[in-house]
Amino acid sequence: MTVTGAGSIFDLGGYLTVGNYGAATLSIAQGGAVSVDEGAGTILLASRANSTGTLNIGAASGAQAAAAGTLDAGLIQFGDGAGTVVFNHTGTTRDSALQFAPGIAGNGTLVFENGWTFLTGDSSQFTGTTNITGGIFSVNGTLGGASTVAAGGRLQGIGTVGPTVLSSGATLAPGNSIGTLTVNGDLTFSNNSAYEVEIANDGRSDNVTVSGTAFLNGADVSVVRLDPDVSYQNGQTYSIVQAGAVNGAFAAPTLAGGSAFLTSSLTYSPTTVTLNIAPLTSPAPVTPVTPVTPTTPTPVTPVTPAPVTPVTVTPTLPTPTVVPDTPPPPPAPVPLFVTAAGTVNQAAAASGLDGLPQTVGSSGLALYNAILFSDAPNARNAFDQLSGEAQASIKPSQTAAAQFVATTASDRLDAAFTVLEEQGSDPVEGSVALASTGIEAWLSGYGSWGETDGNGNAASIDRDIGGFLVGADGFLTETLRVGLLAGYGEASYDVSGRASSSDVDSTHIGLYAGTMLGPVALKAGAAYSFNEVDTSRRIAFGGFTDRLTASYDSGTAQVFGEASYRIDTGFGSSISPYANLAYVSLDTDGFVERGGAAALRSGDDTTETTFSTLGLKGQVAMPIGGLALNANATLGWRHAYGDRTPTSTLAFVAGGPSFTVSGAPIAEDTAVLEFGLGVDIAPNATLGLHYAGQLAEEASDNGVRATFNLKF
């Protein structure tokens, strides 16, 4: 008989016999239900000798697994025939697992082929055999008889079973997470069977208690979960087998994930097996040099000269003092986490992590253990994420954003000193005519996008910069033009390799001045940028996650100067060799990240960089219908000095020592390319469009700038 399908119910009072004089099968599947005497009745399987009775929960043995049905009965009693209960269902998760409450008694066979089944009733009167050929069998009650776990089968739970044999490929996992399974009789592991051990966050571990002998036979021990809330710096021990006697030994235990920093071992007594977990030791220090033992010099025999006078000279020689060599101190042990680091930044972050406090239950210990449980590749990935290197990498980008102020001011002075020499006209003032003799106001909008490649230590960084500047200038004397500027900019930086990003809002102020001394042009200026920085990082490795943010201020101060020599080439064109020098100082305020255990803190710091540029500028002015069209181009070579590689000194808020990481460096040598076109759209108004590119082996930036000048 088959009871299948949701809503299908077979309900009877008293008891139900399956197999009395012949063979019979009852299958309960797909949500069907069988109830005997409202859950208090008995199902009798194979009641008479030579009869066969089979109860299938799900599908029959050997068939494709099917969803289980429900059986509401107090007891399954095996009779004198061949009775079998088969569990072959599809509930493979804890939520879909089958909870089987009826008790089982008598001599029959239990077969577990598929699905996760919890046995919760009292089956201590069962005297038959249990075969676990697949799926998960959790015994939370009591099961008598003998059990065999075949390859692919898994026995677990917190109850009691009879004598048990684990075949090669079978798994024993006491508890349903953490717990003790009791074996009433002998427990026999086969070679290549597995014993899985979990460790809870309260110091408990999985354990198996055996009333008879535990035959270990070289079975594997796998520690599948460690305690994240306890310190392992001084090691921890856990009892995993308690038996009447222990015979043989397990294979060497392994840790889940293959921790690069922990070692595990087993110790044995006649009745117990203990699991030991401890950190790996640091490389042994070099043996100190043995001090040199001082030696006593051989006395010098006095020399008696030939008698000239009756005076005998006896020389006295000082006894030299031999100072023993002082042995060098032994090298400090390498911090545990640093042993897995592959880059300078990884080693720096690892040194900070090594010093996290070991307070039980603290967030710092949870982070420490997340690293401690990792294998070497995952640890290196964690070091990169935790290093906070993006805080260093955005410093050169803030410097680059500030340089738009200097470039705009310099180009503005170039425009003010443009030669408008019509063909055939006489040169004016040494071939220099002032394009503007009064006050001129201007507006410039700029945008740039670029990236700096990683260097094997720091990851690459992408940047997008935009903003505007306004200013006005005029002649303070006949030859000296001065001006003021102000503006606002926004920049976004992305270090995708470290799941980090930053947004910077900047307010700029500055002044600039220039003069023409015949063909020589001199320009200088100074500016300051007030920056508001917001950073965000995501951390995810192993089972650890965190999201971190910070907000702080920085300020960019810069001074710049340029000298050029104008060479007229006729027809309203000229070329000008030039030299430019700029100094940029970035002062960054300290900050404390908001978030969890991976949060970092930093103090104030300063980054100073100097840039020199040598190159050639070209310009041509062409009157068109009473208006002027001015085209210009610049080609230069820029060299960076000073703090080319940005650094940040950080420490974990949770505790531990500070460490210093470096970001993506400023390119040492960069080609500078600019092209511009300006047109008089009115007698007193000029509109310009410029392209600027910076190309280096490890970095590139491309930008555009639009300007509008209005003369008064």
d(CA 378, CA 257): 9
Summary mean pLDDT of the chain: 89
Q: At what angle do helices 376-386 and 363-372 cross, to 10 degrees?
A: 140
If asked whether residues 270 and 418 sit together in one domain, one would say no
Average pLDDT rounded to a whole number, residues 531-550: 95
Q: What is the pLDDT of residue 25?
A: 96
Residue 686 included in any domain = yes
Residue 634 included in any domain = yes
Residue 343 included in any domain = no
If asked whether residues 19 and 166 sit together in one domain, one would say yes
Q: Which of 522, 523, 519 is nearest to 566 (CA)?
A: 519
315: pLDDT strictly greater than 90: no
Q: For residue 257, give Cα distances in angstroms to 176, 261, 374, 377.
A: 21, 11, 6, 11
Residue 447 included in any domain = yes
Which of 254, 279, 304 is the endpoint of a domain?
A: 279
* Lowest mean pLDDT across 20-24, 326-330, 603-607: 326-330
Q: Is 163 exposed, middle or buried (0-12, 13-18, 19+ CB in 10 A)?
A: middle
Residue 320 included in any domain = no
Residues 493/395, Cβ–Cβ less than 8 Å: no
d(CA 369, CA 105): 47
d(CA 239, CA 269): 11
Per residue in 23-56, pLDDT (tens digit) is 999 999 999 999 999 999 999 999 999 999 999 9
Q: Is 604 exposed, middle or buried (0-12, 13-18, 19+ CB in 10 A)?
A: exposed
Which H or E element spans position 292?
A: none
If asked whether residues 43 and 176 sit together in one domain, one would say yes
Q: For residue 177, give the 3-state DSSP assignment.
A: coil
312: pLDDT strictly greater than 50: no
Token pair in block for residue 663: 């970001």
Backbone region of residue 370 per phi and psi (left: phi > 0; alpha: psi in -120 to 50; beta: other values): alpha
If asked whether residues 268 and 389 sit together in one domain, one would say no
If asked whether residues 89 and 215 sit together in one domain, one would say yes
Q: Which residues contact 310 (CB under 8 A, 6 or more apart)?
A: none
Which of 224, 244, 279 is the endpoint of a domain?
A: 279
**Parallel, antiparallel, or unpaired for β 9-12 and 75-78?**
unpaired
If asked whether residues 670 and 553 sit together in one domain, one would say yes
Residue 293 included in any domain = no
If asked whether residues 399 and 529 sit together in one domain, one would say yes
d(CA 675, CA 691): 5
> DSSP alpha helices (H): ranges in 265-375?
344-354, 363-372
Q: Which of 349, 327, 328 is nearest to 337 (CA)?
A: 349
Q: Which of 412, 432, 420 is nearest to 473 (CA)?
A: 412
Q: What is the pLDDT of residue 26?
A: 96
If asked whether residues 699 and 575 sit together in one domain, one would say yes
Token pair in block for residue 489: 């900019």
Residue 315 included in any domain = no
If asked whether residues 269 and 389 sit together in one domain, one would say no
Average pLDDT rounded to a whole number, residues 374-398: 94
If asked whether residues 561 and 703 sit together in one domain, one would say yes
Average pLDDT rounded to a whole number, residues 576-601: 96
Going by pLDDT thresholds of 50, 70 and 90, the confidence category of residue 420 is very low
Name the domain count of the chain: 2
Q: Which residues contact 308 (CB under 8 A, 6 or more apart)?
A: none
- Strands, E assignment, 476-572: 480-495, 500-517, 520-541, 544-565, 567-570
Does the predicted model carry a pTM greater than 0.85?
Answer: no
Provide the domain limits for residue 635. 385-422+438-711
- Alpha carbons within 13 A on the beta-carbon side of 22: 2
Residue 657 included in any domain = yes
The single residue listed with the structure tokens 């089972």 is 543
Residues paired with 588 in a beta bridge: 554, 605
Please report, in angstroms and rounded to a whole number, the separation of the first and last CA atoms in the chain: 104
If asked whether residues 266 and 397 sit together in one domain, one would say no
Q: Which of 516, 520, 654, 508 is nearest to 584 (CA)?
A: 508
424: pLDDT strictly greater than 50: no
Per residue in 431-464, pLDDT (tens digit) is 333 445 578 899 999 999 999 999 999 999 999 9
Q: For residue 101, give the 3-state DSSP assignment.
A: coil
Which of 229, 256, 279 is the endpoint of a domain?
A: 279
Residue 420 per-residue DSSP state: -
Q: For residue 395, give the 3-state DSSP assignment.
A: helix
333: pLDDT strictly greater than 70: no
Q: What is the pLDDT of residue 311?
A: 42
What is the CATH number for 406?
Answer: 2.40.128.130
